[in-house]
């Protein structure tokens, strides 16, 4: 009885009958997601930057904001296939997202897995924190660390050259188990964090200036992390 009770509260209803991967978008509309775009609060002409186009989920990049799952997730493998549709730029996948607009009145409390061109796999701490090996080498002087405005919130990834050339599809895999987050880009292990200050939350995609196409946003419940080695 305790095991059944645990599953009901940690996974959304759609996941209870799923053991394998399932898509977080249906290819037709944004069912299962909600948007948080601050400019739309005050500008009647502002358009939703998140659309479905030819079966892909598209972040148009502007106005800035987030597309956020309605459901809360814990212990999962998230596979995202994405590409920059035009000019390279910035975007990100947020995990363990909770309180809206916690940073700069824009970003939800979360850990961001960076998708910015040539920086894919960096962690950004957004009012949550996470640890990695070689913290001072990858985050800078300890005195500057923090999780709010003006602090060093960026933790550099482990590799260079893991991304595909512009216009080609990249595969990012983010595994979250309890308070650990492990990230691969095109099969390269690019980050491996532990002691995160959160263990569950919503998943969010960003609109942050550049158009990005997503042809897959797929989630699989997990009970253990994949080996922390490159698959290539």
What is residue 230's predicted lDDT score, i.e. its pLDDT? 58
Q: In the chain, how many H helices and how many E strands?
A: 4, 15
Domains and CATH numbers, the chain: 31-221 (2.60.120.560)
Residue 86 confidence class, pLDDT cut points 50, 70, 90: confident
- pLDDT tens-digit map of 142-183: 999 999 999 999 999 999 999 999 999 999 999 999 999 999
Per DSSP, what are the bridge partners of residue 220?
Answer: 77
Q: Where are the beta strands (DSSP E) in 115-225?
A: 123-126, 154-155, 170-177, 180-185, 188-193, 202-207, 212-221
The pLDDT > 90 percentage for the chain reads: 88
Calpha distance 174→176 (Å, rounded): 7
**Do residues 68 and 203 touch, judged by C-beta distance below 8 A?**
yes
Put residue 27 in one of left, alpha, beta given phi > 0 → left and psi -120 to 50 → alpha.
Answer: left
Mean pLDDT of the region 77-90:
95
- pLDDT tens-digit map of 176-203: 999 999 999 999 999 999 999 999 999 9
- pLDDT tens-digit map of 95-152: 999 999 999 999 999 999 999 999 999 999 999 999 999 999 999 999 999 999 999 9
CA-CA distances (angstroms) from residue 61 to 49, 121, 224? 6, 19, 34
Calpha distance 217→22 (Å, rounded): 9
DSSP category for residue 20: S
Query: In this structure, how many other beta carbons lie within 10 angstroms of the beta carbon of residue 117?
Result: 17
What pTM was estimated for this model as a whole? 0.91
């Amino acid at each position: 009885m305790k095991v059944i009770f645990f599953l009901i509260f940690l996974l959304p209803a759609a996941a209870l009958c799923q053991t394998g991967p399932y898509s977080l978008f249906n290819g037709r509309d944004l069912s299962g997601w909600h948007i948080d775009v601050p400019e739309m609060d005050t500008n009647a002409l502002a358009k939703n930057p998140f659309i479905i186009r030819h079966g892909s989920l598209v972040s148009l990049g502007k106005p800035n904001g987030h597309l956020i799952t309605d459901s809360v997730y814990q212990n999962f493998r998230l596979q995202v296939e994405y590409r920059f549709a035009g000019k390279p730029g910035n975007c990100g996948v947020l995990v363990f997202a909770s309180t809206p607009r916690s940073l700069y009145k824009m970003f939800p409390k979360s850990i961001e897995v960076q998708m910015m061109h040539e920086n894919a796999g960096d962690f950004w701490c957004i009012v949550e924190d996470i640890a990695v090996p070689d913290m001072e080498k990858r985050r800078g002087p300890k005195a500057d660390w923090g999780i709010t405005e003006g602090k060093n919130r960026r933790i550099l990834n482990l590799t260079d050259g893991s991304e595909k050339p512009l216009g080609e599809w990249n595969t990012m895999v983010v595994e979250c188990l309890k308070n650990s987050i492990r990230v691969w880009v095109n099969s390269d292990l690019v980050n491996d964090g532990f002691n995160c200050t959160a263990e569950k939350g919503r998943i969010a995609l960003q609109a942050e200036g550049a158009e990005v196409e997503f042809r897959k946003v797929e989630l699989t419940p997990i009970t253990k992390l994949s080996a922390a080695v490159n698959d290539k």
